[in-house]
Amino acid sequence: MNNYLIAFVVLLLVARAPAGAIQSAPAQPATQVDPIAAIIEAFRTYNIVTVTDPHGNVQVQAFLLSLVRDPRFSEAMNDIVIETASARYQDAIDRFVRGDDVERAVLRKAWEDHTVANSLGVQAEELIQAVRAVNASRAENRKLRVIAGDPPIDWDNITAPQDGRRWTELRDSYPADLIRRQVLDRGRRALVVYGQGHLQRRQIVANYDMSTWQAQTVVSLLERDHAARIFNIWTLLDRNVEIPEGVMSWRVPSMALLRGTTLGARDFGLYSRGLGDGSRFGVKGGQLVPVPQDEWKMMRMEEQFDALLYLGPPASMITGPVPSALCQDADFVKRRVERLSRFGPPVEVQNFKKACGL
């Protein structure tokens, strides 16, 4: 174990201590460590480790694939829960990653027939393929499982906006319950790969008011279960926020624990603006009501996330192109445009049409 990792293990023990136990100590500079080794080490203490879903980001995808392919990874944990795959096709995924032959026309529905408007499923397919390859050399009782976290929507029966809305409203509660049943209740350990909005312990868009169901996240719901021990990782991706001092000189990739550090003491709002222009909302009478900026609350980063992952300057982040094969697939294009036009944000329709030259 190298010196950086030894330091990380010591800090990991500190990270488990109650916040009040260390608040009297002055914040220290964060120590960067190798992120793959650190994540594997974290599984010794935690049964859930979270990391952001790529949502098209090339660097995040490359990191995830490197993590999954590391021979130590499958020894440390059991399951990978992914946002961008439909639970309706869990059986097909299970059979495929075990090494069975699965008809592609069925399998591709797993990563295409979900509710995540800004995901084509390309990266979910790559990740599932990578797990199958890893499992090929693993004993039957040590094979990794990929758990599809998106609610099992049946697109054939979605005809009106309210039909789709009832499924999208489950995008945090469904995976949280799934992880309880499939991971925690079985004494297993899982890497949870979800967009960072779903990983906040307290929702910035709700001004950190977690009294309504609309404000809940996958992590906030999971942490109601005393069996859940969550190591929550934030990745620096937002081009619109200032990179903390000193981080630009870190190795790529790098990770650092936040508890008791100057990075952890910063306001979470300095790492993320939330949605769009950063507006925050309350819920009154079932309606979203904007919260005036002078009423915006602050929250220490270390109360939201346990570690910071650095994959390079956010300005250098690359979004992968839509594969030409998909643009040339007339059935896929027709289906995606129809779904996005009826149920997705208009910007996603525009982005897809532009990417495929429509």
Mean pLDDT in the chain?
A: 91
Contact status, residue 252 vs residue 310, Cβ threshold 8 Å: yes
Written as tens digits, the pLDDT of the chain (358 aa) is 555 454 455 455 545 555 555 456 788 999 999 999 999 999 999 999 999 999 999 999 999 999 999 999 999 999 999 999 999 999 999 999 999 999 999 999 999 999 998 888 899 999 999 999 999 999 888 899 999 999 999 998 888 888 888 999 999 999 999 999 999 999 999 999 999 999 999 999 999 999 999 999 999 999 999 999 999 999 999 998 999 999 999 999 999 999 999 999 999 999 998 887 889 999 888 788 999 999 999 999 999 999 999 999 999 999 999 999 999 999 999 999 988 888 888 888 899 999 999 8
User: How much is the pLDDT for 10?
Assistant: 47
Q: Which two tokens stand for residue 19?
A: 């916040």
324-347 pLDDT, tens digit each: 999 999 999 999 998 888 888 888
Alpha carbon 278 to its chain centroid, in Å, reads 20
Class of residue 122 by CB neighbours under 10 A (exposed 0-12, middle 13-18, buried 19+): buried
> What does the DSSP assignment read for 110-162?
HHHSSS-TT--SHHHHHHHHHHHHHHTTS-GGG--EEEEEE----GGG--SHH
Contact status, residue 60 vs residue 238, Cβ threshold 8 Å: no
Report helix angle 58-69 to 35-42, nearest 10.
Answer: 60
What domains, with CATH codes, occur in the chain?
3-318 (3.40.50), 321-358 (no CATH)
User: How much is the pLDDT for 277?
Assistant: 80
User: How much is the pLDDT for 253?
Assistant: 98
User: How much is the pLDDT for 15?
Assistant: 55
pTM metric for this prediction: 0.92
Report helix angle 90-98 to 122-135, nearest 10.
Answer: 40
